[in-house]
Amino acid sequence: MAEFFQATLAFPAVLFTFLLIVCVGYWLLTLFGAIDVDEDAGDLLGALGFGGVPLTIVLTLTIVVAWFLSLVGTVLLAGTATGVRITFGVLVLLAAIVLALLVTRLLVTPLRKVFHSGPAASRADFIGRTCVIRTSTVATDFGQAEVHAEDGSSAVVQVRQTGTDDLRAGQTALIYDYDTDGEFFWVAPVETHLKD
């Protein structure tokens, strides 16, 4: 156990050890309700692929991964000459930071759905979108279609048409209105709508 503590206090792991202590303190305070988790990572980090998740989570993940990688590097460098240890320690430090950012970016991707803070999806969001007919035909009283939302998810919805267009399974149609009483969408063939 003493070797572990020596490794955590040796260069380059020591830099991340103190940051890790700060992170643990922050999350303990958050756990006991003393402080709140901050908002989204912001525009700059969002452009780097870390958006949609609170900044503190991004930083914590990066620090934990960088600490672990630098700790492994510190252990591997133990017993080498001081000059070699410092030179390779700097390389380990840089590699730990770069790899930690890459790993954090991979870990943040599934977390975006957990922290989704946009407006709630509504049926009106489907109006103006194209859909793919899933039933053998669409009539004035029958039909279903698959439509994709802005976030990439799909839904099977009830659809109807006012005319006698030949809408069959696999064809693309345009959703142009929603009937709140009947809880279905009005659709028309894409070609018909484009001619109007």
Amino acid letter, 114:
V
85 pLDDT band, cuts 50/70/90, is confident
- C-alpha 176 chain-centroid distance: 30
- 66 pLDDT above the threshold of 60: yes
pLDDT in the model for residue 76:
87
CB atoms within 10 A of CB 24: 13
Q: Is 184 helix (H, G, I), strand (E, B) or coil?
A: strand
When pLDDT is averaged across residues 41-53 and rounded to a whole number, the result is 65
Q: What is this structure's pTM? A: 0.56
CA atoms within 13 A on the CB side of 16: 28
- 35 pLDDT above the threshold of 70: yes
**pLDDT tens for residues 136-194?**
999 988 999 999 877 677 889 999 998 888 888 999 999 999 998 888 999 999 875 44
Least confident of 40-44, 48-52, 78-82: 40-44
For the chain, the first-to-last Cα distance in angstroms comes to 77
Largest CA distance in the chain: 85
- 38 pLDDT above the threshold of 70: no
- 107 pLDDT above the threshold of 60: yes
Task: Dump the DSSP string for 40-56.
Answer: B-HHHHIIIIITTSBHH
| Separation of alpha carbons 195 and 8, rounded Å | 70
Tokens of 52: 């949609």
Q: Helix 55-77 crosses helix 13-31 at what angle (to 10 degrees)?
A: 150
Domains of the chain: 2-114 (no CATH), 123-195 (2.40.50.140)
When pLDDT is averaged across residues 22-43 and rounded to a whole number, the result is 76
- C-alpha 152 chain-centroid distance: 12
**CA-based nearest residue to 142, from 187, 191, 193:** 187
Query: Mean pLDDT over all residues of the chain?
Result: 83
**pLDDT tens for residues 116-125?**
655 555 677 8
- 49 pLDDT above the threshold of 50: yes
Whether the CA torsion 181, 175, 170, 152 is positive or negative: it is negative
Who contacts 125 (Cβ-Cβ below 8 Å, separation ≥6)?
A: 149, 150
Outline where 9-150 has alpha helix (H): 13-31, 42-45, 55-77, 82-114
pLDDT in the model for residue 65:
94
| Separation of alpha carbons 107 and 72, rounded Å | 20
Comparing 13 with 1, the larger pLDDT belongs to 13
pLDDT in the model for residue 196:
47
| Separation of alpha carbons 187 and 162, rounded Å | 8
pLDDT in the model for residue 27:
87
